[in-house]
């Protein structure tokens, strides 16, 4: 947000001056940040949905093994979610670093 604020204020104050290299990097970073997180969330979203659905099916078929299935499900979610989280870290890096 601070980058956007910088851009906004500078754009207001120095409307006639051309954008500097830092400003262009900020704009590209903000746009890229949104893209990075949005794209990174697609795959893990599908993956976690499929994974949990299958786990629920397994638990419904064999309720006695629900504990094992739940543990394995959390493990799988942790692995799948890592991709989305790396996307989130990239978002933070592009946006703020």
Partner 1 sequence: MLHALLLAAEEGGAEEAASNPILPTMNELFWGAIAFGVMYFLLAYVLLPPVQRARNDRAATIQANKDAAESARAKAVSATAEVSDQLAGVRAETVTMLEQARAEAEAERQRLVSRADREVQAMKDLVESEIATEREEALATMRPQVADLAVGAASKMTGRQVDLAAVRPLVDRYLDNPN
Partner 2 sequence: MIGLEYPPIENLVEWPNYFGGDSFWALNKIGLISLLAMAIPAAVFLFSKKELVPRGMQNMAESTVEFVENQVILPAIGRDGLRYLPLLLSLFLFVFIGNLFEVIPTFQMPANARMANPMLLALIVWVVFIAVGVKHHGLTYFKDIVWPPGVPVGLRWFVGLIELITVFFIRPFSLAVRLFANMLAGHILLVTFGVLCIAVFTAGLIIVLLPLTFGMLVALTAFEIFVSFLQAFVFALLTAVYIDSSLHPAH
Residues that bind partner 1 (CB under 8 A): 1-3, 5-6, 8-9, 12, 89, 92-93, 96-97
Alpha-carbon span 45 to 74, nearest angstrom: 15
82 binds partner 2 per the rule CB under 8 A: yes
> How far from 57 is each of 4, 9, 31, 82, CA to CA, in Å?
46, 54, 40, 24
Q: Is 45 in the site for partner 2 (CB under 8 A)?
A: no
Picked from partner 2, partner 1, none, the partner binding residue 71 (CB below 5 to 8 A depending on kind) is: partner 2
* # binding residues, partner 2 (CB under 8 A): 19
Nearest-Å Rg of the Cα atoms of the chain is 21
Task: Count Cβ atoms below 10 Å from residue 58 Cβ, excluding itself.
Answer: 17
78 interacts with, out of partner 2, partner 1, none, CB within 5 to 8 A per kind:
partner 2
User: What number of other Cβ atoms are within 10 A of residue 64's Cβ?
Assistant: 7
Q: Residue 70 corresponds to which tokens in the numbers above?
A: 């739940």
As measured in angstroms, the least distance from the Cβ of 14 to partner 1 is 13
Which residues contribute to the site for partner 2 (CB under 8 A)? 1-2, 67-68, 71, 74-75, 77-79, 81-82, 85-86, 88-89, 92, 95-96
């Amino acid at each position: 947000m601070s980058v956007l604020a910088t851009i906004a204020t500078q754009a207001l104050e120095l409307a006639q001056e051309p954008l500097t290299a830092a400003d262009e990097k900020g704009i590209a970073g903000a746009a890229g940040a949104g893209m990075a997180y949005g794209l990174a969330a697609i795959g893990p979203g599908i993956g976690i949905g499929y994974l949990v659905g299958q786990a629920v099916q397994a638990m419904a078929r064999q309720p006695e093994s629900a504990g094992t299935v739940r543990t394995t499900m959390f493990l799988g979610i942790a692995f799948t979610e890592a991709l989305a989280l790396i996307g989130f870290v990239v978002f933070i890096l592009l946006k703020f670093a």
